[in-house]
Structure 1
């Protein structure tokens, strides 16, 4: 570090020390340490004059609309929210009753007339949209409830149907078992004259006899019903489709369907003299040569 730089730093240090000393002396001076005392003066006369100026005693009550409760508010249990709110409600209710009396006394209308129509803040189109939206919501709720009711009815109806089907099956099974038992006892001759049965043993045979004999075809088998016969006449018969074009001994020996002209053949006779001789094949010509 050069000498000039050292001299510059020493001068700055001296200046800083002087400023610090001056600040300390200023803080410790009597003017800074002394505190200004505030004077509180109660000018009763001036305050009374101001209160009389702003007082509203000379103004009618209908313009002031102020009510002071005659009874003080006394809350026994401040921590009890219900009791505290009830006291506030009672005080407000008394003030409302007193205010209504004062308004009627002043001759000012208190209640709204029946034919009074206030101007709406919202437009009629906006209110119509809101009404339509509410109606749509109500309709959707009704549709949901109706769908739920229908689902419950379907479940209940399905349950009843299953119970009825099961009951019929049980009755049918019991009747068949009883019929089988009676038939068995009839065959064995174990039924006496005093036995009383509420089921006719030959009911099945009687019903078949009453319905008449079933029609049979040429092969001795019973014919199908009319619906099946109509379908067979329209669409043909079912049955076996395989090996329908397979030759048998009878079809092979039967030559009635054979045609010489159709098969382009001269038959089994020898060629005539006028017929032109065919040219021999290549292999035969090579052997001749």
Structure 2
């Protein structure tokens, strides 16, 4: 919309207002209302307790763990794979560090944390009697039927 078009519409609005087609006061600027934030921790904790389920570990499989130890081959090839962190736990970006290598370190941290979860979780599942391997004669149920596959 150009300036001349917006002036035309302003003039049209003023004319409509003068003719009485528009009622004054409908287009007033609404007062700014400051929103009040309520932090009622007691009620929040009560609601959390209502929603919380008391399930066995095998039902949730939640784990909090660190990183698995770095294999000697990887430590020899890449050196120290630890990400430098500040006091709050945020990763410090060094100006001399290559960002591509930094991403590799981050991905390696995800991999090592998943490894640690497996190293801790599988023995825990075995202690609870949960089978973690399929039998040798197990055939997976196919998503598509045999007749559909022959088409």
Q: TM-score, normalised by structure 2?
A: 0.56
2:113 paired residue among 73, 91, 95: 91
2:65 counterpart of 1:69? yes
- Could you tell me how far apart the structure 1 residues matched to 2:27 and 2:66 are? 62
Greater RCO, 1 or 2 (C-alpha within 8 Å, sep 6+) = 2
The CA RMSD measured in Å over matched residues stands at 3.5
SS at match of 2:139: coil
CA contact (8 A) 2:17 2:24 kept: no
Question: CA 1:16–1:25 in 2, change beyond 3 Å: closer, same or farther?
Answer: closer
How far did residue 89 of structure 1 move? 0.6
- Could you tell me how far apart the structure 1 residues matched to 2:138 and 2:26 are? 81
More helix by share: 1
- Could you tell me how far apart the structure 2 residues matched to 1:117 and 1:33 are? 67
Whichever of the two has the greater Rg, that structure is 1
| Count of paired positions | 109
Q: TM-score, normalised by structure 1?
A: 0.32
1:40 paired residue among 37, 42, 46: 37
- Could you tell me how far apart the structure 2 residues matched to 1:88 and 1:15 are? 65
Deviation string, structure 1 residues 12-52 (Cα, Å, up to 9, x no partner): x987514388436862xxxx452222111111110011111
Query: Gapped runs of 5+ residues in structure 1?
Result: 1-12, 130-289
Query: Gapped runs of 5+ residues in structure 2?
Result: 1-13, 68-81, 85-91, 94-98
Q: 1:134-153, aligned counterparts within 5 Å?
A: none
How far did residue 91 of structure 1 move? 0.7
